[in-house]
Amino acid sequence: MKSRLYLSASARTRFGTGMLMYFAQGIPAGLLGIAMPAWLAAQGADALEVASYLAVVHLPWAFKLLSGPLMDRYQFPAMGRRRPWVLAAQLGLALSLLCLIFVSDPIAQIGLLISIGVIVNVFAATQDVAVDGMAIELVPESEQGRLNAFMIFGKAAGWAGSSAVSGVVLVNWGLGVAALLAALCSGLIFFFFLLVREREGEKLLPWSKGEVVHSVAGSSSFGSLFAGLRDVMWSRISLIVIAIVFSDGLVSGYGNALTPIAAINLFGFTTEEWSQLAASMGFVGALASLGLGPLIDRYGAKRMLVFVIMLVAAHTFTLAATQHYWEDTTYVRVMMSLWVLLGPVSMVCVIALAMAICSVQVSATQFAIYMSIANLGSSLGAATYGLVAEKTSFVQNFALMGSMALVTLVVVMFYRIHEFGHADAAAVAVADTTGDR
């Protein structure tokens, strides 16, 4: 088995692979996070049940920081520092998605559905940590904005396509068929990544010919790893990034729990209609994120994030203040579409902000911590909506989401990348990264 796909040698390979691996993460997101909540709501599940389902199924993304230290500590560099972890996680993702065929009645078997959903997201989150660590080590700083755009495009395209297909399949053929299709697509991506290597000369498979081509001085023990991590995590800029990603995640999680319930129970969408809307606008948002990448490289992630958060706040407050237009189908579709569109655009900016201050030596762990905190915020946001849904009106819910966005905006204003003096943490490029940029 031969391969000419080397991440260190080709910008096209870096962008294409990053986009495809994030597409794989989008498959369970579309099925479990978009189509499934709407389907459960359409079948009679109340707001608390749907919000609780989302909060628990999403939790592995909040605890993916646990896999970061394992990746930084245990490696098989002959196959690349991160590639073996990506392969193992992607295979686990495909197999766990297949296990959803055992859920014949999601309402009656909600516990089994949640349990399998958690396992699916454990593998998806682990794959995400490994891919992010690989990107931080192999991608020059000048490419990071564009790479983030391609990856978010891939993830948005993944969950858009998955939610569109799943919304139709769930209604007409059930979860078993939807699970089989998701597992098949994830398996195909696994076989593609078997052909990709980090650097020329490394092993393609454990029994293939190859050798260690590049290694970064790592930690000999978990103690030394966490000691090095402590030096970068407790800096002022790092603490500000933590506050930003948590606050942004809170807004995202709250909105992702609120919008499908509002779509089904308030605005009269069917499961298929909401899935199709989320899919189409998610894809538009993915295209917008591609255009955002070069803008981030030119103007900076902070400026772009401030602009996007202002749009989110303006959107939600406008929706809350225009209740008299909620009977207008066109107006409602436009406003709901805007919310879906802004999701991937915001994500590009947040990831670029966090990635810019990561240290190569502990990249998997450090970046995983930032993203875990973001996903913890997302789970708490969904849980918060579940707690307040029965006590508040939809007008109040939209206004509360806008207030959360304003808090995020205030926190972002404290971000000052030039205050971070640790050269290694700012230098995410690897010296031997060359090729067609």
Residue 383 sits at the vertex; the CA angle it makes with 378 and 385, to the nearest 5 degrees, is: 100
The CA distance from 170 to 73, in Å, is: 41
Give residue for tokens 């606008």. 281
The CA distance from 46 to 48, in Å, is: 6
The CA distance from 343 to 138, in Å, is: 26
Q: Which of 191, 189, 200 is nearest to 80 (CA)?
A: 200
Which pLDDT value is given to residue 221? 57
Which pLDDT value is given to residue 223? 65
Start-to-end C-alpha separation, the chain: 27
Give one DSSP letter per residue of 321-340, joined into a string: H-GGGTT-HHHHHHHHHHHH
Encode the chain (437 residues) as per-residue pLDDT tens digits.
Answer: 455 788 888 888 889 999 999 999 999 999 998 889 888 888 877 878 888 898 899 888 877 777 777 787 777 788 888 899 999 999 999 999 999 999 988 888 889 999 999 999 999 999 998 998 888 778 776 777 778 778 878 888 898 889 889 988 998 898 999 999 999 999 999 999 998 988 888 888 888 887 776 665 555 555 666 666 676 777 888 899 999 999 999 999 999 889 988 998 889 888 888 888 888 887 787 777 777 777 777 777 888 899 999 999 999 999 999 999 999 989 999 999 888 888 877 887 888 888 777 766 666 677 778 888 888 898 899 889 989 988 899 999 999 999 999 999 999 999 876 544 433 333 333 323 323 43
Residue 251 sits at the vertex; the CA angle it makes with 245 and 253, to the nearest 5 degrees, is: 95
Give the number of other Cβ atoms within 10 Å of residue 280's Cβ.
16
The CA distance from 90 to 148, in Å, is: 20
Domain limits, the chain: 5-426
Quickly name the fold that domain 5-426 has: Growth Hormone; Chain: A; (1.20.1250)
Supply the pTM of this predicted model.
Answer: 0.70
The CA distance from 248 to 257, in Å, is: 15
Give residue for tokens 């052909």. 195
Question: Residue length, the chain?
Answer: 437
Is there a contact between 101 and 31 (Cβ–Cβ < 8 Å)? no
The CA distance from 152 to 157, in Å, is: 8
Which pLDDT value is given to residue 421? 41
Is there a contact between 228 and 371 (Cβ–Cβ < 8 Å)? no
C-alpha R_g of the chain: 21
